[in-house]
Amino acid sequence: MKSTAHNQVLIRAIANLESLHRTCKEAAMCMDQTSSNRIAFERDARFLNESITALRSGECEQIQSVWERAQHLSRFLGGDYIRSSRLNEKFESGCAEVFETTLELIQLVKSETE
């Protein structure tokens, strides 16, 4: 059974992913409209949607999957479309929040399954 702390962190992690998704959408509205920027935005939106869906499932394996990808956000998320929109600081802050809450969530999941 999931603890109250687990549920609260899960809700925060989903909210942080949704906030980052909104930031990416905002960036896409004012980015330079190049094909590489559109492709990068679509890739990021797909990742964020998949992560939100995975966390909403509440399944340990899905949470682990999100955590594995969240550890490497800076390697594949963002790009020129974020920089051209001038939302880089907001984006970086959102990535940090996603990382922190998914770390906290995976720690709770692991402690509850031991």
CA gap 45, 25 in Å, rounded: 8
46's tokens: 């797909």
Positive or negative torsion for Cα 29, 35, 37, 38: positive
Query: What CATH number has the domain bearing residue 27?
Result: 1.20.1270
pLDDT in tens, the chain (114 residues): 577 888 899 999 999 999 999 999 999 998 888 999 899 999 999 999 999 999 999 888 898 898 888 888 777 788 888 888 888 899 999 999 999 999 999 998 888 777
Burial level of 105, CB count in 10 A (0-12/13-18/19+)? buried
Can you give the pLDDT at residue 5?
82
pTM of the model: 0.88
Can you give the pLDDT at residue 84?
83
Structural domain boundaries enclosing 81 = 4-113
Q: How far is CA 51 from the centre of its chain?
A: 6
In this structure, which amino acid lies at residue 98? Answer: V
Q: How many domains does the chain have?
A: 1
Can you give the pLDDT at residue 12?
95
